[in-house]
């Protein structure tokens, strides 16, 4: 019986670890393989604070969690610069370094002997010093950690995390601050792992470096993958299965050394098998929008298009923009002035610098020289998400939709000023967020209405047709609430009838006083849609004029068709 209770305590500890790791790997898509190091920080914090400083519960836990959360936040900073494979390797290195420090810093950690005699938890003078007594505390801790992770992932912040996982640059382009999000999710993930570490120290009354090696991180990864990335219940299931399954092996009589090794072999084989047979895990990711009500006839709720802005005012202005890539000059001395209520076309041969110009105007590339202002305010050198918030948003030629999210979520995540984007507000202002979510749902439905995608609201983006995807790109851009929209080939590859659907949408935006700039190759589209056209070549504007002026210019035509 004692043994069964012990296994259940271990399920709780690993449940917390798997949940914490899932936040990073599953929801945020950050493959940082140092989770066992965070686990170690929590365990050593409790051991050192109780043994060396005699701190009582819960001080050791709180300090440990805060400290580990802070370290997690520091790890997030490299995660901004590097991604994918490099993040995996750097964090593996970090994991090894942490364990080397734990092994070699004998005066603090006890070296290879570890720290013995960590005091058990006491509740009303009652020592939780056996599995049966400890289990309720472990279940309580698991419950609290699960609730924290649940709140986090089912909030607007969680939605933004998944958007970032799907496509980082697109998340930036709708105004999400990636640094903030990465720091926050790392801090939470590390802090939760530290809770598990503290429990471990209190339960076994011992902390040693060998419990937190790379094998442990892989073990947690196996739990997350087995249960399903992006599903918290899956992590619990994965933890339970991977703790219990190897225990069953104990009934087969094997020498202990071989038994230990065969556990690890089982994890490895299971990991590979699940990737092969069911890559989404036992429980796949579910849409977080399930619990939101379907709102029908949303436009009758009185939230409609914002009132029209005055036309003809200068909004976005770029002056003497320059950018080189190594020896190649992409943009050189480009000037552009966009006005509210007008549609500006950007044409020119391939390699003329059109997309680079967009990247410069929206902060995705830094300028070598030149300046950019929006409504008279200098926005040169701002980060992309700040530029979006200031009022200038762009779309991408290759769409970059959040493919695993529904059309509605794609739009909702892009709505500006969401209280729930801030992680502390998720926990401290739940009512405000709840109200906002309801309003945002209606706003998102209205945007979908506006582009004619209401019937696809609950369809995942990857299941949409090409034309619908293009419409969703427009919808997502509108949702940012920006004043200036830079569309990078929004119409390419569409047939006549779809074009006829999109034209009025773009026209209507301009009529409402929005500023529109479109990169386009199709001259018919330019003729039909644009008020002003910039002809770009060799990195700057060769000519500016109305569509008919430019099209009658034979030198430009020969440049374009060369």
Partner 1 sequence: MDLFAQLFVNGLINGSHYALLGAGFGLIFATTRIVHFAYGPIFTAAAYAAWFAANVLGLPIAAAMLFAALVAAALGTATYQYLYLPFELRQSSSHVALIASLGLFIVLENLIAIVFGTGGRVVDGYQYDIFLVGPVYFSSVQLGQVIAMIVLTASLGVYLARTRHGKAILATTDNPEMARIIGIDTVKVSRLVFAIGSALSAIPATLILLKDGATPSMGFFAVFIAFVAVIVGGVGSLRGAIAGGLALGMVESLGLWKIPTEWQSSIAFIVLFLVVLLRPQGLFGRAVN
Nearest residue to 448 (alpha-carbon basis) of 458, 439, 438: 458
What is the nearest approach in angstroms of partner 1 to the Cβ of residue 79?
A: 11
Is 347 in contact with 521 (CB distance < 8 Å)?
yes
What is the nearest approach in angstroms of partner 1 to the Cβ of residue 275?
A: 5
Taking CB under 8 A as the criterion, the residue among 3, 70, 325, 427 binding partner 1 is: 325
Helix (H, G, I), strand (E, B) or coil at 543: strand
- Four-residue CA torsion sign, 405, 407, 410, 415: negative
What is the nearest approach in angstroms of partner 1 to the Cβ of residue 257?
A: 7
Supply angle C-alpha 501, 504, 507, rounded to 5. 145
Binding mask 266-295 for partner 1 (x = CB under 8 A): -xxxxxx--xx--x----------------
The continuous run of DSSP H or E covering 334 comes out as strand 328-339
What is the nearest approach in angstroms of partner 1 to the Cβ of residue 226?
A: 11
**Maximum separation of any 2 CA atoms in the chain, in Å:** 93
Residue 385 token pair: 């998400």
Looking at the Cβ atoms of 21 and 374, the one nearer to partner 1 is 21
Taking CB under 8 A as the criterion, the residue among 74, 127, 144, 265 binding partner 1 is: 265
Nearest residue to 225 (alpha-carbon basis) of 31, 10, 13, 7: 31
Residue 556 token pair: 């430009």
Q: How many residues bind to partner 1 according to rule CB under 8 A?
A: 41
What is the nearest approach in angstroms of partner 1 to the Cβ of residue 533?
A: 30
What is the nearest approach in angstroms of partner 1 to the Cβ of residue 551?
A: 35
Looking at the Cβ atoms of 366 and 463, the one nearer to partner 1 is 366
- How many Cβ atoms from other residues are within 10 Å of residue 440's Cβ? 23
Is 374 in contact with 366 (CB distance < 8 Å)?
no
What is the nearest approach in angstroms of partner 1 to the Cβ of residue 29?
A: 8
Looking at the Cβ atoms of 323 and 339, the one nearer to partner 1 is 323
Kindly give, in sequence order, each residue whose CB lies less than 8 Å from that of residue 260, ignoring residues fewer than 6 positions away: none
76-135 residues near partner 1, rule: CB under 8 A: 78, 81-82, 84-86, 88-90, 92-94, 96-97, 100, 103-104
Which residue is listed with tokens 């399954």?
Answer: 245
Nearest residue to 35 (alpha-carbon basis) of 171, 174, 220, 226: 220
Looking at the Cβ atoms of 262 and 373, the one nearer to partner 1 is 262
Q: Is 241 exposed, middle or buried (0-12, 13-18, 19+ CB in 10 A)?
A: middle
Helices (H), 205-255: 214-227, 232-249
What is the nearest approach in angstroms of partner 1 to the Cβ of residue 265?
A: 5
Scanning 186-194, 232-240, 257-265, 401-409 for contacts with partner 1 by CB under 8 A, the matching segment is 257-265
Residue 251 token pair: 């009934």
Binding mask 29-58 for partner 1 (x = CB under 8 A): --x---------------------------
Residue 128 token pair: 């939780």
Looking at the Cβ atoms of 91 and 342, the one nearer to partner 1 is 91
What is the nearest approach in angstroms of partner 1 to the Cβ of residue 538?
A: 20
Give the separation between CA 108 and CA 507, rounded to whole angstroms. 69
Distance, C-alpha 198 to centroid of its chain: 28
The continuous run of DSSP H or E covering 145 comes out as helix 131-153
Looking at the Cβ atoms of 221 and 346, the one nearer to partner 1 is 221
Looking at the Cβ atoms of 71 and 433, the one nearer to partner 1 is 71
Residue 8 token pair: 């259940």
SS (H, E, C) 500-514: HHHHHHHHHHHHCCC
Looking at the Cβ atoms of 53 and 269, the one nearer to partner 1 is 269
Looking at the Cβ atoms of 274 and 475, the one nearer to partner 1 is 274
Scanning 9-17, 265-273, 506-514, 524-532 for contacts with partner 1 by CB under 8 A, the matching segment is 265-273
Give the separation between CA 506 and CA 485, rounded to whole angstroms. 10
Taking CB under 8 A as the criterion, the residue among 116, 250, 261, 435 binding partner 1 is: 261
Give the separation between CA 357 and CA 367, rounded to whole angstroms. 10
Binding mask 385-414 for partner 1 (x = CB under 8 A): ------------------------------
Binding mask 208-247 for partner 1 (x = CB under 8 A): ------xx--x--xx--x----------------------
Looking at the Cβ atoms of 81 and 290, the one nearer to partner 1 is 81
Nearest residue to 285 (alpha-carbon basis) of 196, 381, 409, 431: 409
Taking CB under 8 A as the criterion, the residue among 258, 369, 500, 557 binding partner 1 is: 258
Looking at the Cβ atoms of 55 and 259, the one nearer to partner 1 is 259
Looking at the Cβ atoms of 166 and 483, the one nearer to partner 1 is 166
What is the nearest approach in angstroms of partner 1 to the Cβ of residue 100?
A: 4
Residue 355 token pair: 């997309």
Binding of residue 180 to partner 1 (CB under 8 A): no
Give the separation between CA 100 and CA 14, rounded to whole angstroms. 23
Is 18 in contact with 29 (CB distance < 8 Å)?
no
Looking at the Cβ atoms of 4 and 273, the one nearer to partner 1 is 273
What residues make contact with partner 1 under the rule CB under 8 A?
Answer: 31, 78, 81-82, 84-86, 88-90, 92-94, 96-97, 100, 103-104, 214-215, 218, 221-222, 225, 257-258, 261-262, 264-265, 267-272, 275-276, 279, 325-326
């Amino acid at each position: 019986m004692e043994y069964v209770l012990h296994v259940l305590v271990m399920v709780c500890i690993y449940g917390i670890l798997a949940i914490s790791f899932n936040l990073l790997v599953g929801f945020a898509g950050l493959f940082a393989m140092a989770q066992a190091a965070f686990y170690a920080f929590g365990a050593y914090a409790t051991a050192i604070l109780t043994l060396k400083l005699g701190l009582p519960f819960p001080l050791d836990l709180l300090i440990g969690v805060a400290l580990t959360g802070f370290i997690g936040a520091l790890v997030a900073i490299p995660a901004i610069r590097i991604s994918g494979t490099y993040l995996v390797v750097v964090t593996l290195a970090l994991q090894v370094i942490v364990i080397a420090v734990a092994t070699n810093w004998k005066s603090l950690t006890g070296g290879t002997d570890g720290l013995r005699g960590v005091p058990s938890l006491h509740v009303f003078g009652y020592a939780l010093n056996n599995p049966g007594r400890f289990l309720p505390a472990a279940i309580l801790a698991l419950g609290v950690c699960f609730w924290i992770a649940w709140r986090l992932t089912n909030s607007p912040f969680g939605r933004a995390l998944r958007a970032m996982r799907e496509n980082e640059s697109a998340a930036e382009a709708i105004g999400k601050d990636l640094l903030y999000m990465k720091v926050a999710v790392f801090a939470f993930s590390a802090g939760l792992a530290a809770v598990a570490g503290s429990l471990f120290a209190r339960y076994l009354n011992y902390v040693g470096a060998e419990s937190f090696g790379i094998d442990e991180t892989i073990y947690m990864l196996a739990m997350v993958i087995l249960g399903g990335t992006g599903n918290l219940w899956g992590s619990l299931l994965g933890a339970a299965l991977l703790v219990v399954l190897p225990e069953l092996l104990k009934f087969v009589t094997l020498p202990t050394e071989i038994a230990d090794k065969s556990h690890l072999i089982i994890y490895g084989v299971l990991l590979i098998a699940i990737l092969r047979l069911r890559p989404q895990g036992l429980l796949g990711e579910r849409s977080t929008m399930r619990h939101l009500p379907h709102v029908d006839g949303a436009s009758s709720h009185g939230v409609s298009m914002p009132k029209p802005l005055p036309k003809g005012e200068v909004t976005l202005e770029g002056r003497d923009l320059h950018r080189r890539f190594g020896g190649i000059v992409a943009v050189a001395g480009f000037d552009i002035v966009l006005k509210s209520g007008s549609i500006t076309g950007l044409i020119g041969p391939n390699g003329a610098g059109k997309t680079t110009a967009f990247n410069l105007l929206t902060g995705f590339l830094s300028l070598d020289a030149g300046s950019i202002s929006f409504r008279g305010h200098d926005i040169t050198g701002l980060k992309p998400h700040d530029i979006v918030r200031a009022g200038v948003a762009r779309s991408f030629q290759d769409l970059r939709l959040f493919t695993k999210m529904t059309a509605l979520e794609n739009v909702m995540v892009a709505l500006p000023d969401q209280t729930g984007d801030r992680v502390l507000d998720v926990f401290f202002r739940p009512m405000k967020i709840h109200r906002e979510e309801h309003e945002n749902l209606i706003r998102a439905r209205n945007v979908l209405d506006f582009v004619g995608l209401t019937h696809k609201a609950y369809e995942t983006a990857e299941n949409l047709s090409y034309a619908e995807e293009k419409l969703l790109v427009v919808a997502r851009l509108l949702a940012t609430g920006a004043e200036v929209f830079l569309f990078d080939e929004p119409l390419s590859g569409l047939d006549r009838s779809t074009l006829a659907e999109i034209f009025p949408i773009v026209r209507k935006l301009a009529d409402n006083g929005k500023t529109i700039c479109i990169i386009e190759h199709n001259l018919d589209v330019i003729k039909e849609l644009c008020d002003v056209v910039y002809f770009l070549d060799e990195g700057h504007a060769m000519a500016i004029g109305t569509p008919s002026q430019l099209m009658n210019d034979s030198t430009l035509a020969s440049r374009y068709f060369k």
